[in-house]
Amino acid sequence: AYDFAYYNLGSNVASSAPFVDLVNFPAGAIPGLPSGSAFNTPAVQAFLIPKAPSGGNPGDRAQNTLAPNFSNPYSQQWNFGVQRQINSRIAAEVRYVGNHTVHNFQATDGNPALGPLVAAGFGNLIPAGLKPCSNPNAPGFAGGIGYANCNLTDDVQYATTAYSFYDGLQSELRMQNWHGLTVNATYTFSKALDNTSEAFSSTQSLGGYGGNTNQYAQNPFDISRAEKALSGYDFPHVAGVVFIYDLPFYKGQKGIVGHLLGGWQMSTTYRYTSGQPYTVVENQQPNSLCDPTNFSGGGIDECRPILSNAALPFTSVGQYCDGTTATCLAAGGAALPLGTLVSVNDPCLGSSAGSSPCAVTPITGAHWIQNDPTSAKILGSPFVGARRSLYRGQAISTSNLAFFKNTRLTEKLTLQFQAQAFNWMNTQFRGVPIGDINLQGFGSTEFNNNGGGTFAANTTYDGIAQRHLLFGAKLIF
Protein backbone atom coordinates (compact mmCIF):
# COMPACT_ATOMS: atom_id res chain seq x y z
CA ALA A 1 0.00 0.00 0.00
CA TYR A 2 2.98 2.28 0.44
CA ASP A 3 4.94 1.48 -2.70
CA PHE A 4 6.20 4.32 -4.87
CA ALA A 5 3.47 5.48 -7.26
CA TYR A 6 5.45 4.81 -10.43
CA TYR A 7 8.56 2.70 -9.84
CA ASN A 8 10.34 3.80 -13.04
CA LEU A 9 10.38 7.40 -11.85
CA GLY A 10 11.94 6.53 -8.51
CA SER A 11 14.53 4.22 -10.07
CA ASN A 12 15.51 6.91 -12.59
CA VAL A 13 16.08 9.40 -9.79
CA ALA A 14 18.06 6.88 -7.73
CA SER A 15 20.32 5.97 -10.65
CA SER A 16 21.38 9.53 -11.55
CA ALA A 17 23.49 12.22 -9.88
CA PRO A 18 24.04 12.96 -7.07
CA PHE A 19 23.43 9.32 -6.04
CA VAL A 20 25.35 7.74 -8.93
CA ASP A 21 28.43 8.98 -10.77
CA LEU A 22 29.40 7.14 -13.94
CA VAL A 23 33.15 7.04 -14.49
CA ASN A 24 34.84 5.72 -17.64
CA PHE A 25 38.33 4.30 -17.21
CA PRO A 26 40.51 4.39 -20.35
CA ALA A 27 41.77 1.04 -21.61
CA GLY A 28 44.94 0.06 -19.82
CA ALA A 29 44.41 2.57 -17.03
CA ILE A 30 43.51 -0.02 -14.39
CA PRO A 31 46.16 -2.75 -14.34
CA GLY A 32 45.70 -5.35 -11.63
CA LEU A 33 41.92 -5.60 -11.93
CA PRO A 34 40.80 -8.79 -10.13
CA SER A 35 40.22 -11.73 -12.44
CA GLY A 36 39.19 -15.35 -12.28
CA SER A 37 37.58 -16.42 -9.03
CA ALA A 38 38.60 -13.09 -7.47
CA PHE A 39 36.40 -11.18 -9.94
CA ASN A 40 33.39 -10.50 -7.75
CA THR A 41 31.45 -7.39 -6.80
CA PRO A 42 33.12 -6.58 -3.44
CA ALA A 43 36.63 -7.12 -4.82
CA VAL A 44 36.04 -5.02 -7.94
CA GLN A 45 34.41 -2.22 -5.92
CA ALA A 46 37.28 -2.19 -3.45
CA PHE A 47 39.74 -1.97 -6.33
CA LEU A 48 37.98 0.68 -8.45
CA ILE A 49 36.47 3.13 -5.96
CA PRO A 50 39.83 4.55 -4.75
CA LYS A 51 40.81 5.18 -8.37
CA ALA A 52 37.64 7.14 -9.25
CA PRO A 53 38.01 10.94 -9.27
CA SER A 54 36.60 12.70 -6.24
CA GLY A 55 35.77 16.23 -5.20
CA GLY A 56 33.55 17.08 -8.19
CA ASN A 57 30.28 18.97 -8.01
CA PRO A 58 27.28 16.66 -8.57
CA GLY A 59 25.50 19.66 -10.06
CA ASP A 60 27.69 19.31 -13.14
CA ARG A 61 25.99 16.02 -13.93
CA ALA A 62 22.60 15.60 -15.57
CA GLN A 63 20.02 14.65 -12.99
CA ASN A 64 16.57 13.14 -12.64
CA THR A 65 14.57 14.70 -9.83
CA LEU A 66 11.06 14.78 -8.42
CA ALA A 67 9.13 18.03 -8.22
CA PRO A 68 8.91 19.45 -4.68
CA ASN A 69 5.12 19.10 -4.72
CA PHE A 70 5.10 15.58 -6.20
CA SER A 71 1.88 13.85 -5.16
CA ASN A 72 -0.29 10.85 -5.91
CA PRO A 73 -2.68 11.11 -8.85
CA TYR A 74 -6.39 10.61 -8.42
CA SER A 75 -9.36 10.22 -10.70
CA GLN A 76 -12.89 11.64 -10.60
CA GLN A 77 -15.46 9.46 -12.36
CA TRP A 78 -19.14 9.79 -13.10
CA ASN A 79 -21.66 7.95 -15.25
CA PHE A 80 -25.33 7.73 -16.05
CA GLY A 81 -27.04 4.93 -17.91
CA VAL A 82 -30.44 3.76 -19.12
CA GLN A 83 -31.32 0.12 -19.74
CA ARG A 84 -34.37 -1.08 -21.67
CA GLN A 85 -35.66 -4.64 -21.86
CA ILE A 86 -37.28 -4.73 -25.30
CA ASN A 87 -38.58 -8.30 -25.00
CA SER A 88 -37.59 -11.53 -23.31
CA ARG A 89 -34.49 -11.90 -25.47
CA ILE A 90 -33.44 -8.38 -26.50
CA ALA A 91 -32.10 -5.59 -24.26
CA ALA A 92 -30.48 -2.23 -24.98
CA GLU A 93 -28.34 0.09 -22.87
CA VAL A 94 -26.99 3.62 -23.31
CA ARG A 95 -24.49 5.15 -20.89
CA TYR A 96 -22.64 8.43 -20.50
CA VAL A 97 -19.24 7.95 -18.84
CA GLY A 98 -16.97 10.76 -17.70
CA ASN A 99 -13.51 10.78 -16.17
CA HIS A 100 -11.13 13.51 -15.00
CA THR A 101 -7.64 12.53 -13.85
CA VAL A 102 -5.67 14.99 -11.72
CA HIS A 103 -1.97 15.09 -10.76
CA ASN A 104 -0.90 12.55 -13.34
CA PHE A 105 2.78 11.97 -14.11
CA GLN A 106 4.63 14.31 -16.47
CA ALA A 107 8.30 14.61 -17.44
CA THR A 108 9.38 18.25 -17.56
CA ASP A 109 12.47 20.35 -18.18
CA GLY A 110 13.21 21.17 -14.57
CA ASN A 111 16.07 23.55 -15.35
CA PRO A 112 15.62 25.29 -18.71
CA ALA A 113 18.66 26.70 -20.49
CA LEU A 114 17.80 30.41 -20.74
CA GLY A 115 20.99 31.85 -22.23
CA PRO A 116 20.28 30.89 -25.86
CA LEU A 117 16.77 32.41 -25.67
CA VAL A 118 18.16 35.69 -24.38
CA ALA A 119 20.96 35.72 -26.96
CA ALA A 120 18.43 35.12 -29.76
CA GLY A 121 16.29 38.05 -28.62
CA PHE A 122 13.53 36.06 -26.95
CA GLY A 123 14.11 37.09 -23.36
CA ASN A 124 10.53 38.37 -23.34
CA LEU A 125 9.31 34.76 -23.48
CA ILE A 126 10.97 33.90 -20.16
CA PRO A 127 8.64 34.19 -17.14
CA ALA A 128 9.31 36.94 -14.64
CA GLY A 129 11.68 35.88 -11.89
CA LEU A 130 13.80 33.60 -14.06
CA LYS A 131 17.13 34.66 -15.49
CA PRO A 132 20.20 32.86 -16.84
CA CYS A 133 22.84 31.86 -14.34
CA SER A 134 25.61 34.47 -14.49
CA ASN A 135 28.06 32.94 -11.99
CA PRO A 136 30.92 31.45 -14.04
CA ASN A 137 31.90 29.24 -11.08
CA ALA A 138 28.48 27.61 -10.77
CA PRO A 139 27.41 24.44 -12.62
CA GLY A 140 24.43 26.28 -14.11
CA PHE A 141 26.64 28.74 -15.97
CA ALA A 142 27.89 25.87 -18.18
CA GLY A 143 30.12 27.93 -20.41
CA GLY A 144 27.46 30.55 -21.03
CA ILE A 145 24.45 28.25 -21.46
CA GLY A 146 22.90 29.98 -18.48
CA TYR A 147 20.53 27.55 -16.77
CA ALA A 148 17.71 28.91 -14.62
CA ASN A 149 19.10 27.20 -11.51
CA CYS A 150 22.78 27.92 -10.98
CA ASN A 151 23.21 24.78 -8.86
CA LEU A 152 22.26 22.32 -11.62
CA THR A 153 22.68 21.64 -15.32
CA ASP A 154 20.23 19.35 -17.14
CA ASP A 155 17.37 18.25 -14.90
CA VAL A 156 14.64 15.89 -16.05
CA GLN A 157 12.07 16.66 -13.39
CA TYR A 158 9.14 14.32 -12.89
CA ALA A 159 6.08 16.20 -11.74
CA THR A 160 2.42 15.42 -11.16
CA THR A 161 1.19 18.25 -13.35
CA ALA A 162 -0.55 16.17 -16.02
CA TYR A 163 -4.30 15.86 -16.33
CA SER A 164 -6.83 14.21 -18.59
CA PHE A 165 -10.51 14.42 -19.51
CA TYR A 166 -12.67 11.68 -20.98
CA ASP A 167 -16.28 11.89 -22.12
CA GLY A 168 -17.91 8.91 -23.76
CA LEU A 169 -21.31 7.81 -24.99
CA GLN A 170 -21.43 4.03 -24.77
CA SER A 171 -24.22 1.93 -26.27
CA GLU A 172 -24.92 -1.79 -26.30
CA LEU A 173 -27.55 -4.07 -27.85
CA ARG A 174 -27.88 -7.67 -26.65
CA MET A 175 -29.93 -10.48 -28.13
CA GLN A 176 -29.81 -13.85 -26.38
CA ASN A 177 -30.52 -17.23 -27.95
CA TRP A 178 -33.02 -16.37 -30.64
CA HIS A 179 -33.35 -19.63 -32.59
CA GLY A 180 -29.79 -20.43 -31.48
CA LEU A 181 -28.41 -16.99 -32.37
CA THR A 182 -26.80 -14.74 -29.73
CA VAL A 183 -25.69 -11.24 -30.70
CA ASN A 184 -23.89 -8.49 -28.80
CA ALA A 185 -23.25 -5.16 -30.54
CA THR A 186 -21.46 -2.19 -28.95
CA TYR A 187 -20.55 1.31 -30.07
CA THR A 188 -18.69 4.05 -28.21
CA PHE A 189 -18.35 7.67 -29.27
CA SER A 190 -15.84 9.47 -27.07
CA LYS A 191 -13.19 12.14 -26.72
CA ALA A 192 -10.06 12.11 -24.55
CA LEU A 193 -7.92 15.17 -23.86
CA ASP A 194 -4.70 15.57 -21.87
CA ASN A 195 -1.51 17.59 -21.71
CA THR A 196 0.69 14.50 -21.91
CA SER A 197 -0.21 10.87 -22.46
CA GLU A 198 2.83 9.24 -20.88
CA ALA A 199 5.70 10.05 -18.55
CA PHE A 200 8.02 8.63 -21.22
CA SER A 201 8.20 8.97 -24.99
CA SER A 202 7.18 6.43 -27.60
CA THR A 203 9.36 7.22 -30.59
CA GLN A 204 11.39 4.76 -32.68
CA SER A 205 12.97 3.02 -29.70
CA LEU A 206 9.52 1.92 -28.55
CA GLY A 207 8.30 0.76 -31.92
CA GLY A 208 6.19 3.54 -33.37
CA TYR A 209 5.02 7.12 -33.40
CA GLY A 210 1.54 6.76 -31.95
CA GLY A 211 0.52 7.98 -28.53
CA ASN A 212 2.99 10.16 -26.66
CA THR A 213 5.59 10.73 -29.38
CA ASN A 214 7.67 13.11 -27.27
CA GLN A 215 7.09 13.44 -23.56
CA TYR A 216 8.46 16.96 -23.03
CA ALA A 217 6.52 20.15 -23.64
CA GLN A 218 7.58 22.31 -26.57
CA ASN A 219 7.58 25.37 -24.32
CA PRO A 220 9.17 24.53 -20.94
CA PHE A 221 7.36 27.53 -19.42
CA ASP A 222 3.89 26.31 -20.44
CA ILE A 223 3.47 22.61 -19.82
CA SER A 224 -0.29 22.75 -19.36
CA ARG A 225 -2.40 24.99 -21.59
CA ALA A 226 -0.09 24.91 -24.62
CA GLU A 227 0.14 21.11 -24.49
CA LYS A 228 -3.56 20.39 -24.06
CA ALA A 229 -4.70 18.36 -27.07
CA LEU A 230 -6.22 15.04 -28.03
CA SER A 231 -4.78 12.25 -25.93
CA GLY A 232 -2.56 9.64 -27.50
CA TYR A 233 -5.27 7.22 -26.38
CA ASP A 234 -8.15 9.06 -28.02
CA PHE A 235 -10.18 6.64 -30.13
CA PRO A 236 -13.44 8.48 -30.89
CA HIS A 237 -15.17 5.61 -32.67
CA VAL A 238 -15.00 2.08 -31.29
CA ALA A 239 -17.48 -0.53 -32.49
CA GLY A 240 -17.73 -4.26 -32.01
CA VAL A 241 -20.13 -7.03 -32.95
CA VAL A 242 -20.19 -10.64 -31.71
CA PHE A 243 -22.33 -13.35 -33.33
CA ILE A 244 -22.65 -16.84 -31.82
CA TYR A 245 -24.84 -19.32 -33.66
CA ASP A 246 -25.64 -22.84 -32.51
CA LEU A 247 -26.55 -24.69 -35.70
CA PRO A 248 -29.97 -26.32 -35.25
CA PHE A 249 -29.15 -29.58 -37.03
CA TYR A 250 -29.15 -32.96 -35.25
CA LYS A 251 -28.99 -31.54 -31.76
CA GLY A 252 -29.70 -34.96 -30.33
CA GLN A 253 -26.67 -36.40 -32.20
CA LYS A 254 -28.39 -39.74 -32.84
CA GLY A 255 -26.61 -42.19 -35.07
CA ILE A 256 -23.53 -41.67 -37.18
CA VAL A 257 -25.07 -38.83 -39.20
CA GLY A 258 -26.17 -37.08 -36.01
CA HIS A 259 -22.69 -37.31 -34.53
CA LEU A 260 -21.16 -35.91 -37.73
CA LEU A 261 -23.59 -33.08 -38.42
CA GLY A 262 -24.77 -32.21 -34.93
CA GLY A 263 -23.11 -30.10 -32.23
CA TRP A 264 -21.73 -27.38 -34.50
CA GLN A 265 -21.34 -23.79 -33.32
CA MET A 266 -20.12 -20.84 -35.37
CA SER A 267 -19.01 -17.49 -33.98
CA THR A 268 -17.61 -14.35 -35.51
CA THR A 269 -16.46 -11.01 -34.14
CA TYR A 270 -15.85 -7.68 -35.82
CA ARG A 271 -13.89 -4.75 -34.44
CA TYR A 272 -13.52 -1.17 -35.64
CA THR A 273 -11.34 1.39 -33.86
CA SER A 274 -10.41 4.88 -35.03
CA GLY A 275 -6.76 5.44 -35.89
CA GLN A 276 -4.41 6.34 -33.07
CA PRO A 277 -3.33 10.00 -32.87
CA TYR A 278 0.31 10.84 -33.44
CA THR A 279 2.47 13.94 -33.18
CA VAL A 280 4.74 15.11 -35.98
CA VAL A 281 8.28 15.76 -34.74
CA GLU A 282 11.70 16.75 -36.06
CA ASN A 283 15.29 15.77 -35.34
CA GLN A 284 17.29 17.70 -32.77
CA GLN A 285 18.28 20.94 -34.50
CA PRO A 286 21.66 22.63 -34.05
CA ASN A 287 21.26 25.51 -31.59
CA SER A 288 17.68 24.50 -30.80
CA LEU A 289 15.91 27.12 -28.71
CA CYS A 290 13.46 24.64 -27.15
CA ASP A 291 16.16 22.21 -26.02
CA PRO A 292 19.59 23.88 -26.46
CA THR A 293 21.47 21.13 -24.63
CA ASN A 294 19.52 18.13 -25.98
CA PHE A 295 18.76 17.25 -22.38
CA SER A 296 16.08 14.78 -23.45
CA GLY A 297 18.76 12.74 -25.19
CA GLY A 298 16.38 11.04 -27.60
CA GLY A 299 17.49 12.73 -30.81
CA ILE A 300 14.07 14.39 -31.14
CA ASP A 301 13.84 18.17 -30.75
CA GLU A 302 11.42 19.59 -28.21
CA CYS A 303 10.54 22.21 -30.85
CA ARG A 304 7.89 20.77 -33.14
CA PRO A 305 7.63 21.43 -36.89
CA ILE A 306 5.56 24.39 -38.02
CA LEU A 307 2.31 23.60 -39.82
CA SER A 308 2.50 26.01 -42.76
CA ASN A 309 0.08 25.01 -45.53
CA ALA A 310 -2.11 21.96 -44.92
CA ALA A 311 -3.31 22.07 -48.54
CA LEU A 312 0.12 21.02 -49.82
CA PRO A 313 1.34 17.39 -49.81
CA PHE A 314 1.76 16.03 -46.28
CA THR A 315 5.39 15.04 -46.85
CA SER A 316 6.52 18.42 -48.25
CA VAL A 317 8.92 20.03 -45.77
CA GLY A 318 10.63 23.40 -46.13
CA GLN A 319 13.41 25.24 -44.35
CA TYR A 320 14.07 28.96 -44.12
CA CYS A 321 17.44 30.24 -45.31
CA ASP A 322 19.30 32.22 -42.67
CA GLY A 323 20.71 34.82 -45.08
CA THR A 324 24.30 33.56 -44.93
CA THR A 325 26.40 31.49 -47.28
CA ALA A 326 26.35 28.66 -44.71
CA THR A 327 22.94 27.40 -45.79
CA CYS A 328 21.49 28.66 -49.07
CA LEU A 329 23.49 29.77 -52.10
CA ALA A 330 22.22 31.40 -55.27
CA ALA A 331 23.61 30.42 -58.67
CA GLY A 332 26.46 32.93 -58.40
CA GLY A 333 27.50 31.79 -54.93
CA ALA A 334 25.86 34.63 -53.02
CA ALA A 335 23.63 33.95 -50.04
CA LEU A 336 19.91 33.93 -50.64
CA PRO A 337 17.96 36.44 -48.51
CA LEU A 338 16.81 35.62 -45.01
CA GLY A 339 13.44 33.86 -45.13
CA THR A 340 13.85 32.24 -48.55
CA LEU A 341 12.08 28.89 -48.37
CA VAL A 342 13.76 25.77 -49.76
CA SER A 343 13.08 22.06 -49.43
CA VAL A 344 14.86 20.26 -46.59
CA ASN A 345 15.71 17.60 -49.18
CA ASP A 346 17.38 20.06 -51.57
CA PRO A 347 20.76 18.43 -52.36
CA CYS A 348 22.47 21.84 -52.31
CA LEU A 349 21.19 22.88 -48.88
CA GLY A 350 24.18 23.63 -46.68
CA SER A 351 26.63 23.72 -49.59
CA SER A 352 29.63 26.00 -49.08
CA ALA A 353 30.61 28.72 -51.50
CA GLY A 354 33.55 27.74 -53.67
CA SER A 355 34.74 27.53 -57.24
CA SER A 356 31.57 25.61 -58.18
CA PRO A 357 28.82 26.71 -55.77
CA CYS A 358 25.76 24.49 -55.58
CA ALA A 359 22.63 26.62 -55.85
CA VAL A 360 19.45 25.69 -54.00
CA THR A 361 16.02 25.94 -55.61
CA PRO A 362 13.57 28.19 -53.73
CA ILE A 363 10.02 26.88 -53.26
CA THR A 364 6.79 28.79 -52.76
CA GLY A 365 5.42 26.74 -49.89
CA ALA A 366 5.38 23.48 -47.93
CA HIS A 367 3.06 21.58 -45.63
CA TRP A 368 5.68 21.75 -42.87
CA ILE A 369 8.51 24.17 -42.07
CA GLN A 370 11.44 23.07 -39.95
CA ASN A 371 11.43 24.77 -36.55
CA ASP A 372 14.92 26.16 -35.95
CA PRO A 373 16.49 29.48 -34.83
CA THR A 374 15.96 30.98 -38.29
CA SER A 375 12.23 30.22 -38.34
CA ALA A 376 12.00 31.54 -34.77
CA LYS A 377 13.57 34.82 -35.90
CA ILE A 378 11.11 35.13 -38.78
CA LEU A 379 7.99 34.07 -36.87
CA GLY A 380 8.81 35.76 -33.57
CA SER A 381 9.01 32.69 -31.32
CA PRO A 382 10.44 29.16 -31.25
CA PHE A 383 7.27 27.88 -29.55
CA VAL A 384 5.01 28.03 -32.62
CA GLY A 385 5.24 24.38 -33.69
CA ALA A 386 2.22 22.23 -34.40
CA ARG A 387 0.17 20.96 -31.48
CA ARG A 388 0.23 17.39 -30.23
CA SER A 389 -1.85 14.57 -31.72
CA LEU A 390 -2.68 16.49 -34.87
CA TYR A 391 -3.02 13.46 -37.15
CA ARG A 392 -4.24 9.88 -36.95
CA GLY A 393 -2.93 6.59 -38.20
CA GLN A 394 -4.94 3.97 -40.03
CA ALA A 395 -8.12 2.76 -38.37
CA ILE A 396 -8.35 -0.84 -37.18
CA SER A 397 -10.97 -2.91 -39.00
CA THR A 398 -10.68 -6.63 -38.46
CA SER A 399 -12.83 -9.71 -37.93
CA ASN A 400 -12.36 -13.18 -36.49
CA LEU A 401 -14.13 -16.44 -37.30
CA ALA A 402 -14.41 -19.65 -35.29
CA PHE A 403 -16.07 -23.07 -35.57
CA PHE A 404 -16.58 -25.47 -32.67
CA LYS A 405 -17.76 -29.08 -32.99
CA ASN A 406 -18.96 -30.81 -29.84
CA THR A 407 -19.34 -34.57 -30.21
CA ARG A 408 -20.83 -36.55 -27.33
CA LEU A 409 -18.83 -39.73 -26.86
CA THR A 410 -20.66 -40.87 -23.75
CA GLU A 411 -23.17 -39.35 -21.38
CA LYS A 412 -20.38 -37.61 -19.43
CA LEU A 413 -17.64 -37.27 -22.06
CA THR A 414 -17.59 -34.79 -24.98
CA LEU A 415 -14.90 -34.24 -27.61
CA GLN A 416 -14.62 -30.64 -28.78
CA PHE A 417 -12.83 -29.69 -31.99
CA GLN A 418 -11.87 -26.03 -32.51
CA ALA A 419 -10.92 -24.12 -35.65
CA GLN A 420 -10.28 -20.41 -35.17
CA ALA A 421 -9.08 -17.76 -37.61
CA PHE A 422 -8.01 -14.38 -36.25
CA ASN A 423 -8.18 -11.61 -38.87
CA TRP A 424 -9.54 -14.33 -41.14
CA MET A 425 -9.87 -11.93 -44.10
CA ASN A 426 -6.18 -10.99 -43.69
CA THR A 427 -7.00 -7.27 -43.57
CA GLN A 428 -3.92 -5.10 -43.86
CA PHE A 429 -3.12 -2.77 -40.96
CA ARG A 430 -0.30 -0.26 -41.34
CA GLY A 431 -1.02 1.75 -38.21
CA VAL A 432 0.80 5.01 -37.56
CA PRO A 433 3.25 6.39 -40.15
CA ILE A 434 6.76 7.63 -39.44
CA GLY A 435 6.26 11.08 -37.94
CA ASP A 436 9.76 12.60 -38.11
CA ILE A 437 10.01 15.21 -40.89
CA ASN A 438 13.77 14.69 -41.16
CA LEU A 439 13.63 10.98 -41.87
CA GLN A 440 13.58 9.64 -45.41
CA GLY A 441 10.47 7.62 -44.67
CA PHE A 442 8.45 10.52 -43.24
CA GLY A 443 4.74 9.88 -43.74
CA SER A 444 5.33 6.26 -44.76
CA THR A 445 4.14 3.08 -43.07
CA GLU A 446 6.53 0.88 -45.05
CA PHE A 447 9.25 0.60 -42.42
CA ASN A 448 7.47 0.41 -39.08
CA ASN A 449 6.34 -2.64 -37.13
CA ASN A 450 2.65 -1.85 -36.94
CA GLY A 451 1.76 -5.46 -37.57
CA GLY A 452 2.42 -6.04 -33.90
CA GLY A 453 4.39 -4.35 -31.17
CA THR A 454 4.19 -1.25 -29.04
CA PHE A 455 2.75 1.98 -30.41
CA ALA A 456 2.56 3.90 -27.18
CA ALA A 457 4.59 3.09 -24.15
CA ASN A 458 1.76 1.23 -22.45
CA THR A 459 -0.42 0.17 -25.40
CA THR A 460 0.41 -2.99 -27.33
CA TYR A 461 -1.29 -4.58 -30.31
CA ASP A 462 -0.25 -8.14 -30.99
CA GLY A 463 0.00 -8.95 -34.64
CA ILE A 464 -3.42 -7.73 -35.77
CA ALA A 465 -2.14 -7.21 -39.32
CA GLN A 466 -1.65 -10.91 -40.00
CA ARG A 467 -4.02 -13.86 -40.25
CA HIS A 468 -3.56 -16.38 -37.44
CA LEU A 469 -5.03 -19.88 -37.62
CA LEU A 470 -5.56 -21.96 -34.50
CA PHE A 471 -6.71 -25.58 -34.40
CA GLY A 472 -7.29 -27.61 -31.29
CA ALA A 473 -9.21 -30.37 -29.58
CA LYS A 474 -10.12 -31.12 -25.99
CA LEU A 475 -12.08 -33.59 -23.92
CA ILE A 476 -14.82 -32.21 -21.69
CA PHE A 477 -15.96 -34.38 -18.79
Alpha carbons 475 and 53: distance in angstroms, whole number? 69
State yes or no: pLDDT of 183 exceeds 50. Answer: yes
* Residue from 382, 289, 363, 279 nearest 320 by CA: 363
Q: How confident is the model at residue 129, as a pLDDT?
A: 93
Q: How confident is the model at residue 403, as a pLDDT?
A: 96
Alpha carbons 435 and 214: distance in angstroms, whole number? 11
Phi first, then psi, for residue 47 (nearest 5°) are -80, -40
Question: What is the maximal distance between C-alpha atoms in the chain?
Answer: 96
Please spell the DSSP secondary structure of 285-347, one letter per residue.
Answer: PTT-SSSTT-TT-SSB-SS--EE--TTS-TT-EEEE--SSTTT-B-TTSPBPPTT-EEETT-T
State yes or no: pLDDT of 78 exceeds 90. Answer: yes
Q: How confident is the model at residue 460, as a pLDDT?
A: 45
Q: Which residues of 136-155 are buried (b: 16+ CB within 10 A; e: fewer)?
A: eebbbbbeebbbbbbebbbb
Q: What is the pLDDT of residues 9-42, one digit of tens each?
A: 888 888 888 888 777 766 555 666 677 777 777 8
Mean pLDDT calculated for residue range 441-469: 63
Point out the least confidently predicted range of 24-28, 126-130, 249-253.
24-28
Please give the residue that has the higher pLDDT: either 410 or 353.
410
Residue 323 lies in a domain: no
Domain carrying residue 43: 7-64
For 76, the 3-state DSSP assignment is: strand
State yes or no: pLDDT of 221 exceeds 80. Answer: yes
Q: Which residues of 393-407 are buried (b: 16+ CB within 10 A; e: fewer)?
A: bbebbbbbbbebbeb
Residue 149 lies in a domain: no
Q: What is the pLDDT of residues 306-321, one digit of tens each?
A: 999 999 999 999 999 9
Residue 263 lies in a domain: no
Residue 34 lies in a domain: yes
Contacts for 38 with CB less than 8 Å, ≥ 6 apart: none
Point out the least confidently predicted range of 7-11, 130-134, 227-231, 366-370.
7-11
- For the chain, percent of residues with pLDDT exceeding 90: 56
State yes or no: pLDDT of 206 exceeds 50. Answer: no
Alpha carbons 307 and 437: distance in angstroms, whole number? 11
Q: How confident is the model at residue 207, as a pLDDT?
A: 40
CB distance 54 to 64 below 8 Å: no
Q: How confident is the model at residue 459, as a pLDDT?
A: 44
Q: How confident is the model at residue 458, as a pLDDT?
A: 39
Pairing of strands 63-66, 155-178: parallel
Phi first, then psi, for residue 258 (nearest 5°) are -60, -40
Sorting pLDDT into bands at 50, 70 and 90, what band is 212? Answer: low
Q: What is the pTM of this model?
A: 0.84
Mean pLDDT calculated for residue range 161-165: 96
Q: How confident is the model at residue 256, as a pLDDT?
A: 83
Q: How confident is the model at residue 16, as a pLDDT?
A: 85
Please list the residues that pair with 271 across neighbouring strands: 240, 398
Q: How confident is the model at residue 352, as a pLDDT?
A: 65
Residue 18 lies in a domain: yes
Sorting pLDDT into bands at 50, 70 and 90, what band is 245? Answer: very high
Phi first, then psi, for residue 440 (nearest 5°) are -60, -35
Mean pLDDT calculated for residue range 341-370: 86
State yes or no: pLDDT of 140 exceeds 60. Answer: yes
Q: What is the pLDDT of residues 261-282, one digit of tens each?
A: 888 999 999 999 999 898 999 9
Measured distance between the N- and C-terminal CA atoms of the chain, rounded to whole angstroms: 42
Q: How confident is the model at residue 19, as a pLDDT?
A: 83
Residue 19 lies in a domain: yes
For 363, the 3-state DSSP assignment is: coil
Q: How confident is the model at residue 2, as a pLDDT?
A: 53
Residue 346 lies in a domain: no
Q: How confident is the model at residue 456, as a pLDDT?
A: 45
Alpha carbons 472 and 71: distance in angstroms, whole number? 50
Residue 434 lies in a domain: no
Edge-to-edge order in the sheet of strand 341-343: 306-307, 368-369, 317-320, 341-343
Please list the residues that pair with 241 across neighbouring strands: 185, 270
Tally of structural domains, the chain: 1
CB distance 321 to 297 below 8 Å: no
